[in-house]
Amino acid sequence: MVRTSTIVEEAPERVVTNRVPVIKFPRTISFYEYDGDNTKIASAMSDTGIPHAMCGRLIISFAGMSAIQQHLPPAFTLRPRTHASFDEFINGLENGTFAPGRDEAPKIAIALLRQQVERYLQLRGLKKFESSGASSFYFPKGLVPNDKVPYQAASGRKTNKNVVGRSERNQVYWHLAMKVNIVMGPPAVVRFKPYLCFSEDGKSAITDVKASTTYVLDLVRRVEEILMHKRYGTYHIVNGGACSYFEFAKEAARILDLSDVETGNLIEPVSEDAMNRRATRPRYSPMRCILSEELGLPALRDWRVALRDYVSEQL
């Protein structure tokens, strides 16, 4: 047995983090009453793009009344109810004002702060992408020079990192995206949680679920080839390319030479968000068989070609 001594050195260590400290919170938060249709005010406020929260017939916001009023339709008129300091608000107002209590107020404050940061990201040119759990914000192609941003590694070395890239194999662009989380602390920080989203044009993120497909006859032939090599492992056997359910159905209709009217009567597009799945699915998840490549086996044909053969064989 070889024994080695361990030396523990006490010294500062550079940390790479995606947390940005909050220097100070807004000084005041305002409550506004409104005149107008209470069934339409939520939509009207959402259209303003101004961070806010609804609490009964009150609108809670950091913004001044005139800034909100000028973005509302004429059918709605605001009037001030009260103002409070940020600390008073998150600790629960006790002056008789109808307002969120001590338990609910911090949640509303966090939501308002998150909206504020998200709005800033959009004003800087990042685009909104609805992902599981919350919205994320991604860099579209061309937003920053050469699609790169300055980056400092833990070693202190400065370099540039891509925020947009291209996968020629999958024929898509990838984009750095981030979700915003507010941690009240102490210390209070804004956390940017990194994600990836994908697009076909470098601008608009893919919002439907796109994945690989497999034609059973191609699967059987490939399994026979794999068995001949006698190499065991996990194989992802899929046809080339990726598509959504809607694209798959539309391609089948095109192969059958159906008219647009016939196709529209047979195929109804449904958004992934409307599916109400118990578990969320990634928007873009094509598979690749690394083991087949290592065996020197060629990639399976494109899913469109396989689909055409299937249709011709069945009909």
Q: What is the pLDDT of residues 58-96, one digit of tens each?
A: 999 999 999 999 999 999 999 999 899 998 888 876 555
Judgement on whether residues 289 and 229 belong to the same structural domain of the protein = yes
pLDDT tops 90 at residue 6: no
Torsion of CA 257, 263, 265, 270, to 10 degrees: 160
Q: What is the mean pLDDT of residues 171-175?
A: 89
> How sure is the predictor about 11, in pLDDT bands with cuts at 50, 70 and 90?
low
310 and 219 co-located in one domain:
yes
Closest C-alpha to 127, from 112, 111, 193, 118? 118
- 16-62 pLDDT, tens digit per residue, is 568 889 999 999 999 999 999 999 999 999 999 999 999 888 999 99
Query: How many CB atoms neighbour CB 224 within 10 A?
Result: 9
Asked, for residue 2, whether it belongs to a domain, the answer is no
Number of domains in the chain: 3
Cβ pair 245, 219 in contact under 8 A: no
Domain shared by 224 and 303, yes or no: yes
Judged by average pLDDT, the poorest of 8-17, 151-160, 215-224, 263-272 is 8-17
User: Do you find a cis peptide bond into 187, omega within 30 degrees of 0?
Assistant: yes
pLDDT of residue 286: 87
Query: Within 10 Å of residue 150's Cβ, how many Cβ atoms?
Result: 9
pLDDT digits (tens, 9 = 90+) for 287-305: 888 999 999 999 999 999 9
Same domain, 247 and 272: yes
C-alpha to C-alpha distance for 122 and 108, rounded to whole angstroms = 21
Q: What is the mean pLDDT of residues 167-186?
A: 88
pLDDT of residue 111: 93
Residues 217 and 163 in one domain: no
**In a shared domain, residues 37 and 88:** yes
> Does 287 fall in a domain?
yes
Q: Is 161 found in the same domain as 223?
A: no
pLDDT of residue 132: 60
| Cα 130 to Cα 123: distance, rounded to the nearest angstrom | 17
If asked whether residues 128 and 178 sit together in one domain, one would say: yes
Residue range 257-283: mean pLDDT, rounded: 79
219 CB-contact burial (10 Å; exposed 0-12 / middle 13-18 / buried 19+): middle
What is d(CA 163, CA 144) in angstroms, rounded to the nearest whole number?
A: 9
277 or 81, which is more confident = 81
Which amino acid would we find at residue 26?
P
Average pLDDT over residues 96-124: 87
The secondary structure of 132-163 as a DSSP string is: SSSEEEEPPTTSSGGGEEEEE-TTS-EEEEES
Domain contains 12: no
pLDDT at 66: 95
Q: Tell me: the pLDDT tens digits for 190-243?
A: 999 988 888 989 998 887 788 899 999 999 999 999 999 999 999 999 999 888
Q: Is residue 10 part of a domain?
A: no
CATH number assigned to the domain comprising residue 88:
3.30.70
- Domain residues for 42? 27-106
The predicted structure's pLDDT at residue 12: 67
Residue 187: both structure tokens together: 């210390």
Whether 214 and 195 share a structural domain: no
Shared domain check, 185 and 276: no
How confident is residue 98, by pLDDT bands cut at 50, 70 and 90?
Answer: low
Residue 179 confidence (pLDDT): 92
The reply to whether 264 falls in a domain is: yes
Phi, psi (5° rounding) for residue 240? Answer: -70, 150
Same-domain status, 274 and 309: yes
pLDDT of residue 237: 94
Query: DSSP 3-state assignment of 17?
Result: coil
How many Cβ atoms are within 10 Å of 235's Cβ, its own excluded? 18
pLDDT at residue 71 in the model: 95
> Smallest Cα–Cα separation from 112: which of 45, 33, 32, 182?
182
Residues 192 and 214 in one domain: no
Render pLDDT for 246-255 as a digit per residue (tens, 0 to 9). 889 999 999 9
Question: Residue 210 phi/psi, 5° resolution?
Answer: -120, 130
User: Within a domain: residue 9?
Assistant: no
pLDDT of residue 281: 73
Give the separation between CA 267 and CA 263, rounded to whole angstroms.
6
Mean pLDDT comparison of 166-170, 188-192, 259-263, 270-274, highest-scoring range? 188-192
pTM assigned to the model: 0.71
Distance CA 177, CA 238 (A): 28
